[in-house]
A and B are shown apart, each in its own frame.
Chain A
Amino acid sequence: MLDFNNHSFLNEVLKYSEGMISFFKPVYTKDRITDYELYFLSENFKKYIHLEIDLILHKKLSEVFPVIFQNGMFEIFNSCMNKADFEINFERRIDFYKNKVWFENKAIKYNEYILLSSKEITRLKSAETKLKQVLKDVEYNNTILNDSESISKTGSFRWNLKKNSWQFSKNMIAFFDQFQVTAKQYNNLGVFSLLNDTDKEKLTTEIENFNYYKKIENFNFIVINKLKTTTYFSLRAGFSPSKTGPILLGVIKDITEITNNALLLKSKNSELIKSNEELASFNQVVSHDLQEPLRKIQMFISRINSENSEEKNKNYLNKIADTSNKMQQLIKSILHYASLDANEHKFVELDLTTIINDTIDDLDQQIEDVHAKVEVKNLPFVNGEYHLLKQLFNNLLSNAIKYRKTNKDLIISIENEYFLEDTLNINNKICLSSKDYHKISINDNGIGFEQQFAPKIFKVFQRLHNFSESKGTGIGLAIAEKVIKIHQGLIDVSSHPNQGTSFYLYLPKNA
């Protein structure tokens, strides 16, 4: 029999250590262990129990710590009792009233007793719990980050400038994969592996001038893949200090959809402006151009009376007939102009030379009447609609005939002009290159006009010249412009008074 109560030395030592010792003596009913008697408890347990240890000593655990029958400790003790030198390590939380304490325990059979050495690990345990929670949170946040990056089409990266080490989010890697950037490339060059040389230089400059308070914002770049489709990106980044030098934290966002939508919106807007302008000019047509012949007819009628000579009255009647004919033509051409937009257009490959020869055939009589000469030089094939293009050339040739010089034979030349790059100043400045466009010029040696009137001439019902006989309805060039627009092209004009006029048609190649 051990008499531990006399081992005051042991208690004294344990007082200064973190370790606590307890002994439990099995209680047998028949041959089975049914309980344990609390045989010894080192003094340093006292701070948890808040009781004189003597008061609970030699009591059964079922009375003082019945919890051991629920938390598996009873079974652990039994296992130890069944085997010599069988040591079981375990962690348990024991609740002393409201005080929850975690212990790290080691149970072992010592003689016919259970020796339990314990150590408090509550703080460690709560740190561990906290850590677990933090890890869980990180995991959640990462899931959310990945999801939100793929929803918002963004990717993020971290770059340690000094060590040139890069870290990427999952979606950032997906971006690299999308543009066939290899792991070797992106691990070395990071986000730079997506940039072209100009953008690389720009971003490098931004980074060289960095400070911790400034963010890199609105840095936009484009990536073109092998299929020549363009992806637009926007980059945002900021610097963060670290032990190993500055770290660049950045996000790139695929803004292709937004950009394309903005471009679409812009083009829809300009279409809208154009159609509003057309609406306004139709308004003008109704309030003026259609009223005018009616009013004149009324005026002529008011001039007819029995006091006039028969000849004079006949003259008024003729004028009425003329004016109403003109009005009918006007209405027809307005309807024609309006119908251009409404119709669907089917494009086929067409030889411009054929179209122009057919146009010349149509205008045969007029051309002969004024002794005009039309020269056609190696024109290309274009995609278009035959009747529209014929109408276009018909209008331009008719125009040249209408505004010819009366004292000189009219010469019209139509040719395919070589050009590198042209800047047109139509609505806004537009730059066209010969790579994408044919440039067809139609030149005449007619009366021309001051270049300052160039923007006016394509407007509906604008005429620059006074012709009392009023040969045109003022709608021919407006139709020409619309036809060119339907063919995704542009029309421009340059003119000198008394020298002549050149119209330039830009038609897309292989459109």
Chain B
Amino acid sequence: MVRDTLHIVLVDDDEDDRDFFREAIEEIDMDTTLSMFVNGQEFLDHITIPNQKLPQIVFLDLNMPIKNGLECLKEIKENNLLEKLSVAIYSTSSSEEDIERTFVLGANVYINKPNSFKKLKKAVEEVLKVNWQYHTSNLNKENFLLRV
């Protein structure tokens, strides 16, 4: 089966984390393009340019300066043009509150930033393989938090 190129976005303020993520994507055997932004505001400024090509999935860090992930997620879901965008939360925080709030706001999956590169690769791979367009229908809180 031939699949189109998968457009991925990472929004994360931490340079090291962006490097790890880029390296992980490079090692996954899939046809992908990756764009990276350092905070929610930069991403929103970019994505709301008219006729902008939308990515299939956004990996969104929560704790960022200027516009944090939660505010960014809210704005994505409030924007009619962006509401179909799949959002994967990608955060160090494992607090129930953050998981609950992002779930309620309509994020598709929650990934705890892993502590090894191997786990990171596995997590990213798993998320990319899901066809989120169809997956949304049986979205529930039990499988919201991705376990690797």
Contacts and interface: CB of A to CB of B under 8 A. Distances in A.
Pairing of A with B: yes
Interface of A: 287-288, 291-292, 294-296, 298-300, 302-303, 319, 323, 453, 462-466, 468
B92 A464 contact: no
Interface of B: 13-17, 20, 38-39, 63, 65-66, 92-95, 113-118, 120
A300 B117 CA distance: 8
Given A462-B65, A465-B66, A466-B65, 5 more contacts: A294-B115, A298-B116, A299-B20, A464-B66, A468-B15
Given A296-B16, A468-B15, A303 B65 contact: no
A287 B95 contact: yes
Contact of B117 (A291, A302, A453): A302
A465 B64 CA distance: 9
A292 B91 CA distance: 10
Contacts of B16: 296, 299-300, 319, 323
B117 A295 contact: no
Contacts of B15: 468
Nearest to A287: B95
Contacts of B13: 466
Nearest to A449: B66
A465 B65 contact: yes
Contacts of A319: 16
A200 B15 CA distance: 68
A463 B65 contact: yes
A288 B63 contact: yes
Nearest to A319: B16
Give the top 9 A-B pairs by smallest Cβ distance, nearest first.
A298-B115, A302-B116, A468-B15, A463-B65, A302-B117, A466-B38, A295-B115, A292-B92, A464-B65
Nearest to B17: A296
Nearest to A461: B63
A356 B120 CA distance: 49
A466 B61 CA distance: 14
Contacts of B38: 466
A314 to B, nearest CB: 16
Contact of B94 (A287, A298, A300): A287
A302 B65 contact: no
Contacts of B65: 462-466
Contacts of A294: 115
A453 B116 CA distance: 35
Given A462-B65, A464-B65, A302 B118 contact: yes
Given A287-B95, A466-B13, A466-B38, A299 B117 contact: yes
24 contacts: A287-B95, A288-B92, A292-B14, A292-B92, A294-B115, A295-B92, A295-B114, A295-B115, A296-B17, A298-B115, A299-B20, A299-B114, A299-B120, A300-B16, A302-B115, A302-B118, A303-B20, A303-B117, A463-B65, A464-B65, A465-B66, A466-B38, A466-B65, A466-B66
Nearest to A450: B66
Contacts of B118: 302
B113 A295 contact: yes
Contacts of A303: 20, 117
Nearest to A297: B115
A288 B93 contact: yes
Contacts of A292: 14, 92
Nearest to A291: B92
